[in-house]
Amino acid sequence: MRTAGKILLTAVVLCCAAKADAQDESAVATSPLYDGAYVAPMASYIFNEKGGDAFDGGYGGTFAVGYRNGWWAFEGSLVVDSEKAKKSGAGGSDTSVWGATLNGLVFPFDSLPGLFALVGAGGLDVNRYPTIGREYSLTTVETGAGYLVPMRVGRYAFGIRMDARYRYGLRGKSVGPNGSGDYDIPRHFGDVLLNVGLQLPVGLMPIPVAPKAEPVAVVPVAAPVDSDGDGVTDDKDQCPNTPAGTQVNDVGCPLPPPCKPPEAGQKVDLSGCAVGDSIVLRGVNFEYDQAKLTVNAQTILDGVADALTAAPGIAVEVDGHTDSRGSDAYNQALSERRAQSVMQYLADHGVAADRMSAKGFGETQPVADNDTEDGRELNRRVELKIVGVGSADAAAATESSADVGQSVDGAPAGSAASPSSSDAGDAGSVPDSSGPSSALEPAGVSGSDVSEPQPDQ
């Protein structure tokens, strides 16, 4: 009964150790502790059960050398015990025991890789037994169970080993002194051994290898969308839903209309005009051989003044031109006076004078052939040249336009143009070639040439 109680107590201790350590087993699954050669020094405590009238227990130790391969292991052990004999003799009561065993170990549970069962056999020599003063031998078998608690220092993994064994020994029949029969020693021995020590693998744990990074999935970037088809993607388009075919700028907004002279009945529109652009003011005519504006010319210039007022950042130069009839000096002076007349009219109708300048070019910049009446008519013109555009006012200019209310040739909007209307303001017929020879008609005006008297030769 005492033996059963000790074994049960040992089993409880081992199971508690296994339960406490089970959560750490996966961390050392690749450790040499579970696969490879090892040594295991252990200390022992011995309870004598069978043959108890011979020994009273004692202490000892074992040194095992073994090899584990997953679920099984095999080891050989050297055993040294010191037991106290119950009977004293000439040699005293201390008896030494030494021997060797071969054991097989089984590790049945993957979830508890440290839990094992053990079975083995061996032999022991008992020295200096007190009643005989000499040694005798035992043949032993043993079985038990134990647990290996994994530990680790850096890359070295080892274990705290605990096991409980029952060892049975059989003494051979011996002849006593002088052939008087057997010794006064029990032939059958039974011991319970509790062993605690270390299991030390020969090798080190492998150097951890960083897990191979999984390839990163490349998500294709969605192609930019251009919903209105204007060539500017939606993420940059500040003017969505632009009508098809509309020319746009880099942010998807419609470009201002080009800077060009108005057609018949159209407004004068300065949107889109930049420095260097010129608008020919067809229909701005003058009284015969004078710089006085006709009524129709004044109506046209009212629209020009409105357009300039709506675009306060635009600065202009009023340029006067003539055809080639008459002297160079006369034509130059006439073109300058008529350019000044136009600028003065615009200033009188709300356009700041510091935004304007006037310049005459006489007959030096023809745009057509002066040998024909049609060509001379085109060369007599007034142009409005853009010489400055303010940034803020340029934006305002693109939003505004003024209604001239006139056709391109000076007639009221909606009426037929009269290409033969005269600078004189009435019949307007062109004098014959024997009369005065030069006149200036401002840009955009479809009127007859204003002739001048031939200068003296």
94 and 31 share a domain? Answer: yes
Specify the amino acid at residue 457: Q
For residue 213, being part of any structural domain is answered with no
Strand partners, 40: 64
Mean pLDDT along residues 15-20: 46
User: Starting from the edge strand earliest in sequence, which strands make up the sheet with 314-321, in order?
Assistant: 278-280, 381-389, 314-321, 356-360
CB 193 within 8 A of CB 49: no
155 and 268 share a domain? Answer: no
For residue 215, being part of any structural domain is answered with no
382 and 345 share a domain? Answer: yes
CB 101 within 8 A of CB 139: no
In sequence order, what are the residues at sequence separation of 6 or more whose Cβ sits closer than 8 angstroms to the Cβ of residue 7? 164, 166, 192
In sequence order, what are the residues at sequence separation of 6 or more whose Cβ sits closer than 8 angstroms to the Cβ of residue 200? 38, 39, 40, 41, 158
403 and 413 share a domain? Answer: yes
Give the pLDDT of residue 365. 92
CB 22 within 8 A of CB 111: yes
DSSP 211-247: PPPPPPP-PPPPPPP-TT-SSS-TTT-SS-SPPTT--
For residue 209, being part of any structural domain is answered with no
**Global pTM value:** 0.43
User: CA-CA distance, 186 to 294, in Å (whole number)?
Assistant: 155
Q: Which helix (H) or strand (E) holds 19?
A: helix 2-21
In angstroms, the Cα distances linking 354 to 6, 228, 312, 389 are: 120, 44, 11, 14
290 and 412 share a domain? Answer: yes
Which CATH number characterizes residue 118's domain? 2.40.160.20
Specify the amino acid at residue 281: L
Please count the structural domains in the chain: 3
CB 325 within 8 A of CB 450: no
**Residue 395 tokens, joined:** 């934006």
Give the pLDDT of residue 187. 78
- Secondary structure of residue 39 in the 3-state scheme: strand
Q: How remote is the C-alpha of 16 from its chain's centroid? A: 52
Mean pLDDT along residues 360-381: 91
Q: Beta-carbon neighbour count of residue 390 at 10 Å?
A: 15
157 and 18 share a domain? Answer: yes
The mean-pLDDT minimum among 78-92, 190-204, 337-351 falls in: 78-92
233 and 264 share a domain? Answer: no
User: CA-CA distance, 392 to 382, in Å (whole number)?
Assistant: 28
Give the pLDDT of residue 180. 53
For residue 212, being part of any structural domain is answered with no
CA nearest neighbour of 44 among 57, 60, 58: 60
Highest mean pLDDT out of 12-26, 201-215, 251-265, 357-371? 357-371
Kindly indicate the confidence band of residue 377, based on its pLDDT and cuts at 50, 70 and 90: confident
Mean pLDDT along residues 404-417: 34
Q: What is the mean pLDDT of the chain?
A: 76
User: CA-CA distance, 373 to 433, in Å (whole number)?
Assistant: 11
DSSP 297-362: HHHHHHHHHHHHHH-TTEEEEEEEE--SSS-HHHHHHHHHHHHHHHHHHHHHTT--GGGEEEEE-T
165 and 175 share a domain? Answer: yes
User: Does 50 score more than 80 pLDDT?
Assistant: no
In sequence order, what are the residues at sequence separation of 6 or more whose Cβ sits closer than 8 angstroms to the Cβ of residue 277? 259, 385, 386
CB 122 within 8 A of CB 100: yes
41 and 73 share a domain? Answer: yes
User: CA-CA distance, 25 to 35, in Å (whole number)?
Assistant: 13
Pairing of strands 314-321, 356-360: parallel
For residue 216, being part of any structural domain is answered with no
Which CATH number characterizes residue 294's domain? 3.30.1330.60
- Secondary structure of residue 27 in the 3-state scheme: helix
For residue 231, being part of any structural domain is answered with yes
User: CA-CA distance, 177 to 183, in Å (whole number)?
Assistant: 8
411 and 421 share a domain? Answer: yes
Give the pLDDT of residue 182. 55
Q: Of 201, 232, 247, at which residue does a domain stop? A: 201
Domain that holds residue 46: 2-201
Q: Beta-carbon neighbour count of residue 108 at 10 Å?
A: 11
233 and 315 share a domain? Answer: no
Q: Of 255, 273, 301, at which residue does a domain stop? A: 255
pLDDT tens digit string along 280-306? 988 888 887 788 999 999 999 999 999
Find the helix packing angle between 295-310 and 328-348, rounded to 10°.
60
For residue 217, being part of any structural domain is answered with no
CB burial string 338-360: b at 16+ within 10 A, e below: bbbbbbbbbeeeebeeebbbbeb
For residue 207, being part of any structural domain is answered with no
366 and 275 share a domain? Answer: yes
